[in-house]
């Protein structure tokens, strides 16, 4: 009996050791692979990018063309922001609702023909509530017709290099009989999102959960349920109809790092929100904040001073400098010093006499001024003359 028990214990011990080494080997292989593996979720295509750099952190079928539904409005939103930037239109512009705009169905703000709204109010209806009627009214205002706006949308997509994108509407509604559907891809939507997040107003509107419209008679409710539930979420655009599935281009920002995720073709609204939140969370957890320079730290060894009784001084960093890098790649961060080999007196405390250059690999990502921490007066003429022969 004792011999049997000993045999069982030995067998258990051997398998425990084997399991430990196998598990360690798998974990090590995953670590060596660089980016962690992200499990695919409930979507036909998806992408996750670092919006600051454009780096793709996760992808699945990112160039497959899909019907983006209301995410089409992202291009309309961009055209409006670009025209606001060149001052060809203004948020205070008054827009009269046309008969065509008032008859658009789907998600809407129930605009009536002849009603007048500011461009800003209609943009809120588009960004927050995905209002199709507001989209038509705005398109007609900025270009005179929806057809002209669609032409400009396609031209702008071409300029941005969005090769998978083809617009046929300004609102993303499913095509009627004889009409062509809109097409885009997860990659193109993410790149379009990068352009949109450059405009603070888009993020301001995108982060509103609900707001009154038409003097409070109607409430615009944000179709993006990550707003208010996912820390840092402030945009961008949902999309849905039966053929397109549930879609979302989402963005969030934390500690200066902005992520953009795109989920296309999820089966339910809950799933698209869950998958978007999962991808964004993974993105933020993949990065680590590293302080490269500390304010007041010595920049380098002493720098020679000419024309003064003090022969050298130490320069210090003017500010802190921190950056976000992928975990495990901290060693790619380097700093070098670019200062004058000799500083001519007088030296003024707080003045810059060079810089600390911070690089990630070969790319410069920041500079911090190198300041004098003391006043060094210029020596008199006779001292400077004599010092030449010493």
| Residues comprising the chain, all counted | 390
Joined tokens for residue 256: 């200066």
| Contact indicator for 210, 264 with CB cutoff of 8 Å | no
Give exposure, 212-228, as e/b (b: 16+ Cβ within 10 Å).
ebbeeeeebebbbbbbe
Joined tokens for residue 230: 């996912």
CA pair distance 136, 360, nearest whole angstrom: 45
Joined tokens for residue 237: 């655009």
Which value, to the nearest 10 degrees, does the dihedral of the CA atoms of residues 140, 146, 147, 150 take? 110
Catalytic site positions: 70, 73, 130
- How would you write 43-111 as a 3-class SS string? CCEEEEEECCCCCEEEEECCCCCECCHHHHHHHHHHHHHHHHHCCCCCCCCEEECCHHHHCCCCCCCCC
CA pair distance 271, 198, nearest whole angstrom: 28
């Amino acid at each position: 009996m004792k011999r049997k028990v000993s045999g069982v214990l030995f067998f258990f011990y051997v398998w425990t050791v084997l399991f430990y080494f196998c598990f360690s080997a798998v974990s090590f292989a995953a670590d060596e692979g660089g980016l962690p593996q992200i499990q695919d979720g409930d979507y036909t295509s998806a992408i996750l990018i670092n919006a600051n750099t454009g780096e793709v952190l996760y992808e699945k079928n990112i160039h497959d063309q899909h019907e983006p539904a209301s995410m089409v409005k992202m291009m309309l939103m961009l055209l409006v922001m670009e025209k606001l930037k060149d001052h060809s239109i203004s948020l205070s512009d008054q827009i009269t609702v046309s008969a065509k705009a008032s008859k658009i169905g789907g998600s809407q703000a129930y605009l009536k023909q002849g009603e007048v709204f500011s461009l800003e109010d209609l943009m809120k209806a588009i960004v927050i509530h995905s209002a199709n009627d507001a989209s038509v009214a705005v398109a007609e205002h900025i270009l005179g017709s929806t057809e002209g706006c669609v032409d400009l949308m396609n031209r702008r997509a071409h300029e941005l290099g969005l090769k998978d994108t083809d617009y046929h509407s300004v609102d993303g509604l499913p095509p009627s009989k004889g009409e062509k559907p809109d097409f885009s891809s997860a990659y193109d939507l993410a790149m379009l999102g990068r352009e949109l997040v450059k405009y603070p107003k888009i993020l301001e509107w995108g982060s509103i959960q609900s707001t009154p419209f038409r003097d409070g008679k109607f409430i615009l409710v944000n179709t993006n349920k990550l707003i208010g539930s996912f820390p840092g979420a402030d945009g961008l655009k949902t999309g849905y109809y039966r053929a397109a599935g549930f879609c979302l281009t989402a963005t969030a920002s934390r500690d200066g790092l902005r992520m953009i995720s795109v989920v296309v073709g999820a089966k339910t609204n809950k799933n698209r929100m869950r998958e978007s939140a999962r991808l964004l969370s993974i993105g933020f957890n993949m990065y680590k904040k590293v302080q490269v320079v500390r304010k007041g730290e010595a920049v380098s060894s002493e720098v020679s001073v000419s024309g003064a009784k003090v022969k050298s001084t130490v320069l210090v960093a003017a500010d802190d400098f921190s950056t976000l890098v992928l975990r495990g790649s901290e060693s790619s961060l380097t700093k070098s010093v670019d200062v004058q080999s000799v500083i001519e007196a007088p030296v003024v405390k707080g003045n810059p006499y060079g810089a600390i250059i911070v690089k990630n690999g070969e790319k410069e990502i920041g500079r911090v001024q190198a300041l004098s921490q003391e006043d060094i007066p210029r020596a008199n003429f006779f001292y400077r003359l004599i010092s030449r022969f010493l």
